Amino acid sequence: MVVATGFFDGVHTGHRELINELVSMASERHTDSLVITFWPHPRIVLHPDEHFPGLLTSLEERRAKLLEYGVDRVEVIEFTKEFSSLTASGFIDEYVRRKFGADALVMGYDNRLGCDLKGSEEIRSAFAGCSPEILIAGRKDSDGMAISSTRIRRALSEGNIEQASAMLGYDYTIGGVVVHGQKLGRKLGFPTANLEMDEPLKVIPAHGAYYVKVRVCGEEYGGMCNVGVRPTVGGSCPVIEAHLFGFDREIYGEKIEISFVRRIRGEKKFSGLEELKRQLEMDKKLCIFGK
């Protein structure tokens, strides 16, 4: 068994280097690849009173992505305060070696393990000549900065969707169930699907209008999505609502996935519904024709 361990939020392109190394090593050794991950996020357990920056993937999305990229097994360990007291050596001995019987551990170049925060180089030195074998993997992107979940969250919060997607290796997606809204979009000729998120801790992109792709009932549609409080109609709570191009069906209660492709504009308060409608018509042209 060859193991990698970490939270892997987003399963982004930096993670992919480690995952590819894991899968390759397991294949060479004719054994299974395993990812050990955790839930909930350590910051929620260790710093419950601090602001949590949000998740890029739900647990289910994370598991699906890891399996999609060739991992044979994904095991989830409950992250508790007791678990957090394990040292790096204690975790490797108890879980990597004994529980899962691994003979190799693949680590990212900037990984740290255990309550003693041992780095990958320190761990490799400590286990030199011993089992499990420690291999360090990972890369940096073209501007010399490490690809990280933190950078991706920041890009999303600033509306830099294309930058976030480049680091993720796929379009950032939010899934959930369609719920009833005020039906204002229908009155304007732009009916929308209002999303109730499956994972409320996921990062919501910066307020504004976006070109999106929406999966519903096994099919994909282009569309535009508004993220924000809808200041023109006196809104105060953030909503995520998508208008699907060429789609006219009732889908209340259906699960949908909204993938963000690019940001069209920021959120704006208009003088009234007529000006808002004209803007929505321009937004649609921007989505379809790109100009």
pLDDT per residue, tens digit, the chain (291 aa), is 999 999 999 999 989 989 999 999 999 999 999 999 999 999 999 999 999 999 999 999 999 999 999 999 999 999 999 999 999 999 999 999 999 999 999 998 778 899 999 988 999 988 888 888 888 875 544 455 688 999 999 999 999 999 999 999 999 999 999 999 877 888 888 999 999 999 999 999 999 999 999 999 999 999 999 999 988 887 778 999 999 999 989 999 999 999 999 999 999 999 999 999 999 999 999 998 875
Q: What is the pLDDT of residues 94-140, one digit of tens each?
A: 999 999 999 999 998 778 899 999 988 999 988 888 888 888 875 54
Cα angle 221-189-233, degrees, rounded to a multiple of 5: 110
Q: What letter would DSSP give residue 80?
A: -
User: To the nearest whole number, what is the mean pLDDT of the chain?
Assistant: 92
* Count of other CB atoms within 10 angstroms of residue 145: 10
Distance CA 15, CA 168 (A): 9
Residue 225's Cβ-count burial label (10 Å; 0-12, 13-18, 19+) is buried
**At which residue do the structure tokens 């039906």 appear?**
183
CA dihedral 174, 108, 139, 128 (to 10 degrees): -170
- CA–CA separation, 114 and 41 (whole Å): 15
DSSP designation for 229: -
pLDDT of residue 262: 96
Residue 19: predicted pLDDT: 94
For residues 286 and 264, is the Cβ–Cβ distance under 8 A?
yes
pLDDT of residue 140: 47
